[in-house]
Structure 1
Amino acid sequence: MSVSIDIAGLRQTGVPPARAESRAWERVVAVPSPLAELGMALHALSEPGHHPGLQGWVTGVTARLDPHLADRMCEADFLWRTTFSDLFLPCAGLPGGALPGGTLAEELDLLDKLSDEQFVDAALEFTCALPYGTPVPGPLADEGLRRRSLELAAARGPQQVRFTERLLADPPRTRAWLRQFLQDCDEAFFAETWARLRHQLAADTRHKTDLLRRKGLAEALAAVSPAVTLDETAARITVDKLGDGRTATGDGGLLLVPTSLGWPHLMVLHRYGWQPVLHYPVGSPELTAPPTVEQLALRMTALSHPVRMRLCRHLARSAYTTGELAQVHGMTAPEISRHLSVLKKAGLITTRRRGRYVLHQLDVTVVARLGSDFLEGILR
């Protein structure tokens, strides 16, 4: 599973071969976005469990947040709680390869330039299961989709119904409400946060721009995340995610937008007709490359077997030979070998030779990254 971005449209026609590489990626731009970072700030405040490293910041902001603003934050939290609405990157929906604004006010002006149809479709995307990657009429034009939007909103409670009814009845008024809410959040807590973060994000975009210029797109994407790869022959970027999607740069470009508050979320805006965006975390505590989705599936499958769980309990404490494990577990050496092979293929154990013996041991660091509950269970 992955999200792919067709970048064939980035290649220029009639470019001399000697200059093709430098011209091919001239519409790939790394740029910070205050509005996108405000969206991540709202997400972290609504779902602090996703961001344990921000616990201190969340606690500090929440403690001084005006109760009325906190209530308003709940009115449309589906735009940022579960995931991240494309409304926080409105430049991607505008023609001509628009870029994020340098200030929040400039980006809110870009949000105002979206059509009512774009605004409503993006606002209802996650909660009303609207089509994302295909060109179909939205709920403003399609009465069936309007009814479906209201039905699905009803399943999420009266507050969502009220917001959806208001959105469908009067998009400009709802847009004005959202703009005022975001401005109030800026005044209450975000302006101070952005003043602290914008220098780090600007430095990261300068670094990515330098990599694009000196070493090319593949190096720049590798610096964005190990989960992002480039196939230059196929003119395709692949983002390893637990989900499927595809988009293309077409006549537009590709935006690389960093976030300081967003780790571990690596998001791809791949809405039909919008400019693709890679929204990626910087300054994360992740010291090693994250596993691919295939590796993650292998590891979860390997740990789901009760025998292998018991093996992990022993291997977490010390290194053992196959014969020792067979004796402890009352199994044959070939049976133990088969289970060890599964664990090794999943990257969960290490082996080393000591004389004529081969010792196996659990890689506790890898297991810890999968989940502390499992690690605590086998160490208990």
Structure 2
Amino acid sequence: MSVFIDITGLPRERITFGPSPLAELGAALHTLSEPAHHARLHGWITTTSAALKPELADRLHEADFLWRSTHADILLPAAPRETLAEELDDLDLMDDEKYVAAALEISCASQYGEGLPSPLVDAGVRQRALELAAARGPRQAAFVRQMLADPPGVRAWIRRLLEDCEEAFFADTWRRVRVQLAADARHKTEMLRRKGLAEAVSAVSPAVTLEEDGLRTRIVVDKLSDGRTAATGRGLTFLPTAFGWPHLVALHTPGWQPVVQYPVSARELTDATPVDTVKLRLEAVAHPMRMRLCRSLARGSYSTGELADTYGITAPEVSRHLAVLRKAGLLTTQRRGRYVLHQLDVAVVARLGSDFLEGLLR
């Protein structure tokens, strides 16, 4: 499961790295609405939340589906600007149908990549948006009804909300983080120029890779979701964020320029474990017999014969179970004379829970 961005034939100058105040504000608002995702930012979350005026906090709650359960595409500009005002001006140029369709993608639904029509023109999509909003609460449902009835009015309301966030807390936050983000973007741009795309992409995140097969070149974003898009004819934008980890956001809506928002702190972490590897490891330890074998293997090194004798099964059965655990990268082996001894790699197993959670949130 991954998001694939086809960049075949795309000139390197159409691949850009740059900080975006609008995207960073969206990431900051998500952090405020889902603090459990961002334990490392506990201090900022606590201080900022305590300083929010009740009226602004109430308005943020009303529109929080724009950044809480999903990152609305309208918050990920493909052409980053110096100021939030400039990016909001660009957003004002978007037509109502496209804006409303992007704003009302309320859940990470499988239909995201299908290029559904706008709820302003399609009754079925409109009903789906209303149902999804109703599940979020009566305030959110009323907000969506108003957006469908008066798109220009609600768009102006959203702009004022984001401007009020800038005045209340984000201007100060942006002053503190934009130097770091700009430096990261310059570093990636220079790496792209000097060392090539593969090096630049790998520096974005261990979960982002470049695939080339002679006929096609594509960026692969390792996520627990499927998606395909093409940057050909448009371009590809990478947006660094100080608020993003553990999220790695890939905008791949049909007809939109692809955008990847990546956390700049990712380089400080251990390598991201691919989601397919996490799945393989969970399946490996879920089997009742392998779970019992792991109990012994976590305590010391054992041969196949010892495990067979301990658990009353045949040596070939033990070998088959050990092969599954070994393929999942959960075992270490060593030879001692004529015996091969197996032991559980407890460090890998200890990371399994955090790897699973990171894969879910990525």
Normalising by the residue count of structure 1, what TM-score does the alignment of the two structures yield?
0.86
Q: Does 1:88 align with 2:75?
A: yes
**Aligned counterpart, 1:13:** none
Q: Distance in 2 between matches of 1:128 and 1:224?
A: 23
CA contact (8 A) 1:125 1:131 kept: no
CA contact (8 A) 1:258 1:279 kept: yes
Residue aligned with 2:239, SS: strand
Change over 3 Å in CA distance of 1:298–1:249 after alignment to 2? same
The residue type equivalent to 1:51 in the other structure is: H
Give the alignment of 1:268-283 within 5 angstroms: 268-283=250-265
Q: Percent identity?
A: 64
Q: Distance in 1 between matches of 2:66 and 2:159?
A: 13
**Aligned counterpart, 1:34:** 21
Aligned-pair CA distance for 1:124:
0.7
**Aligned counterpart, 1:316:** 298
**Aligned counterpart, 1:55:** 42
Point out where structure 2 has 5 or more consecutive residues left out of the alignment: 357-362
Q: Distance in 2 between matches of 1:129 and 1:117?
A: 19
The residue type equivalent to 1:7 in the other structure is: I
Residue aligned with 1:36, SS: helix
CA contact (8 A) 2:2 2:223 kept: yes
Aligned-pair CA distance for 1:130:
9.3
Aligned-pair CA distance for 1:225:
1.9
Q: Does 1:300 align with 2:287?
A: no
Q: Distance in 2 between matches of 1:25 and 1:285?
A: 23
Change over 3 Å in CA distance of 1:260–1:244 after alignment to 2? same
**Aligned counterpart, 1:213:** 193
**Aligned counterpart, 1:74:** 61
Q: Distance in 1 between matches of 2:83 and 2:208?
A: 28
Q: Number of residues paired by the alignment?
A: 354
Residue aligned with 1:284, SS: helix
Deviation sequence 1:282-319 (CA, Å, 0-9, x none): 11376332222321221111011122223323333333
**Aligned counterpart, 1:148:** 128
Change over 3 Å in CA distance of 1:244–1:127 after alignment to 2? closer
Give the alignment of 1:77-226 within 5 angstroms: 77-89=64-76, 91-92=77-78, 99-127=79-107, 131-226=111-206
Change over 3 Å in CA distance of 1:324–1:196 after alignment to 2? farther
Q: Does 1:354 align with 2:336?
A: yes
CA contact (8 A) 2:105 2:129 kept: no
Point out where structure 1 has 5 or more consecutive residues left out of the alignment: 11-23, 93-98, 375-380
**Aligned counterpart, 2:6:** 6
CA contact (8 A) 1:124 1:130 kept: no
The residue type equivalent to 2:299 in the other structure is: R
Residue aligned with 1:251, SS: coil
Residue aligned with 1:289, SS: coil
CA contact (8 A) 2:184 2:240 kept: yes
Normalising by the residue count of structure 2, what TM-score does the alignment of the two structures yield?
0.90
Aligned-pair CA distance for 1:164:
0.7
Q: Distance in 1 between matches of 2:4 and 2:96?
A: 28
**Aligned counterpart, 1:371:** 353
Q: Distance in 2 between matches of 1:50 and 1:108?
A: 27
Change over 3 Å in CA distance of 1:256–1:286 after alignment to 2? same
Residue aligned with 1:133, SS: helix
